[in-house]
Amino acid sequence: MKKCILFAAIFLSVMLYKAQSEDKEIDLKELQINTAPSAVLLGISPSELETPKSKKALVFSIINSFKEKEGIPGSYAFEVTPFWLFTPKKMTALKYAGIKEDSTQNIFSEARKFSVSLGFARDLGISSDEEVKNPAFAFSVRSTLIKIRTKKNKEDIIAQNAKVVKALDNMLGGFLSDKEIQKERFRLAEKCMNENNNDEGTCDRIVEEKLNQFIRENKDKYKDYQDNNVDYYRNIMEAPPLLALDLAGGYSTFFSDNTFSNNNFGKLGFWMTLNTGFDFTTEEKPDIEKKLNFYGIARYMEDGTIMDENQEFTRTRNFDVGGKAEFIYNRFSISGEWIYRSSNAENTFRASGLLAYKISDKVYVNASFGKDYGDRDNLITFLGLNWGLDSKRQSVFVEDKK
């Protein structure tokens, strides 16, 4: 009878370890919920210089301009990222970070997280007559083609992965395979058999109760260690890259005089964005995010929403170059951007400041103020609300690096 109970104890410990090790996963950190690039084509984006950062499968943006007589927001954008709709079930943290089994980087790993977006503006505001409305629609695609991590960041991710594996093993009960725990299980079973005259039913209950108490006591010992390591792991996985290259493109169309038959060419644009930066988040305070990002942009844009002296729509060809600096502290971010435009119509620039606040991992608010392209009606005053939608939390598994 003793042998039966001891065999059952070993069997249960193995099954418990397997079941719990399958749940070794960590939630991904939501950096920002970006405004869809289709909003840039409609001229309604608080910022024209962004890179994909959201972990949401669906992002819905509401954008309002504080111009005279504007009340209910009339501009909306919707962005879908198929990768987050169909995330591989066994996506590990190292694979997510683009680190291969031989510790080299897969610099193209972010390309699969491309997104598609649609945008709508109730009125482009291009007519001098306030009674005339020119609604517009836009479609765009964007993705990070190349992302290169710093050598230190890659080494930190690999090292932190090992720490988190150990912490989660301890936290989730993986330590039950240790000799000390096995010895404790055998000791409890033998003691119970001696004290209860080989009563199998009673011993099964008593051994499991005492073993569960032992597990809880050990979990408390590792809880803070596990939480700190996982928080820091999330941060370094999303640290600014040594260099990242994003590509985007899109097309918009508008309907003059709010008439379907008056369909016009809106804008056609292709652009690339470079990103680098520095991460000042510390392992001691992993919940306080501190980052400094720098962006550069080069863009070609054909614009058919410009009216000439005869109040006829004309098409211009624009070449844009510019940059942006962004500082993130905890839930706040503040940035400034400047973009110079060379055009066959006129040379001009856009300069603006952006303040953003992360209310939660699902809601992000941003506001911008500054000067837009051109010399007339060129005030930038936007307030945006970006709302991320998910059917489930986004997470990745951690496992021992082979």
Q: CB burial class (10 A; 0-12, 13-18, 19+) of residue 283?
A: middle
- What is the structure's pLDDT at 262? 83
- What is the structure's pLDDT at 8? 40
- What is the structure's pLDDT at 386? 76
Would the pLDDT of 228 be above 70? no
Would the pLDDT of 147 be above 80? yes
- Alpha carbon distance 348, 340 (integer Å): 6
List b or e across 6-39, with b for residues whose CB sees 16 or more CB atoms inside 10 angstroms. eeebeebbeebbeebbeebbbebbbbbbbbbbbb
- What is the structure's pLDDT at 330? 85
**For 360-381, what is the mean pLDDT?**
83
Give tens-digit pLDDT for 187-224.
777 777 777 656 666 777 777 777 777 766 666 555 55
Structural domains of the chain, ranges and CATH numbers in brackets: 2-24+171-232 (no CATH), 31-150+239-397 (2.40.160.40)
Q: CB burial class (10 A; 0-12, 13-18, 19+) of residue 61?
A: buried
For the record, the structure tokens of 71 come out as: 């009340």
Give tens-digit pLDDT for 14-31.
333 333 333 455 555 555
CA neighbor of 377 nearest in space, from 65, 149, 159: 65
Taking all residues of the chain, what is their mean pLDDT, rounded to a whole number?
77
- What is the structure's pLDDT at 74? 74
- What is the structure's pLDDT at 1? 45
Higher pLDDT: 289 or 298? It is 298
Would the pLDDT of 298 be above 50? yes
What amino acid occupies position 80? V
- Alpha carbon distance 307, 304 (integer Å): 8
